[in-house]
Amino acid sequence: MYAAVNPVVGRGYDYGFQDPVSSNVAFGRPAWQSTTFQHRAATFATDGDVSGVVEDNTIAHTAGNHDPNPWWQVDLGAAYLIAEVNVYHRTDCCQDRLSGANVIVSDDAEYTTGTVCGVLVATPVETVQCNVPGSVVTVQHSGRMITICEIEVMARFDRRSEVVKDSSLCPGDICLSASELLFTPDNWE
């Protein structure tokens, strides 16, 4: 079961029009990476701090050339229609490290079965358009370390509700089965 939950005003109630693009659904969510350089944990990229300076200790960083297939990923905790992913790069150096990295949306941590939304070119802030359903977002880069200052995952909702994979959030009879949900731009109302 999926629960229909209003992202702005509360559990399961329709109070009219809402912007169909949400706030950042990755903020504060658990994140992992293939390796970690020093203390630069994966969760630094979901902490809301967009500082691009390594000395600020807010940058997720994989362990250099010792990782032949580095990746970083965030578990969104629910299935969303991912509209776009904003990637904040380092600004003190090394912006090219993410040049050629893939942004992938998948249903689980096995990102190789997911959909590649785009390839990064390493400008200070990049927006990758996705419009793909999923619950995990991965940045994968073959043979090069990954440094990410922040990732924002913007999910798309219809005007009434977001889709959450937690039936305990379902007050009364507003739950929908998976067959009642369609993640296409044509049916956002």
Q: What is the pLDDT of residues 111-127, one digit of tens each?
A: 999 999 999 997 899 99
Instruction: Work out the angle at residue 113's Cα, subtended by the Cα atoms of residues 109 and 117, and round it to the nearest 5 degrees.
Output: 90
Q: What is the pLDDT of residues 32-74, one digit of tens each?
A: 999 988 888 899 899 999 987 877 778 888 987 778 889 999 9
Section 154-178 average pLDDT = 50
Average per-residue pLDDT for the chain: 77
| Alpha carbon separation from 134 to 20, 44, 49, 51, 68 (Å, rounded) | 17, 22, 24, 27, 26
Is the separation of the CB atoms in 154 and 162 below 8 Å? no
Strand 71-88 with 162-164, pairing: unpaired
Query: Any bridge partners for residue 31, and if so which?
Result: 74
Sign, CA torsion 79/84/86/87? positive
Residue with tokens 């992992």: 32
pTM of the model: 0.73
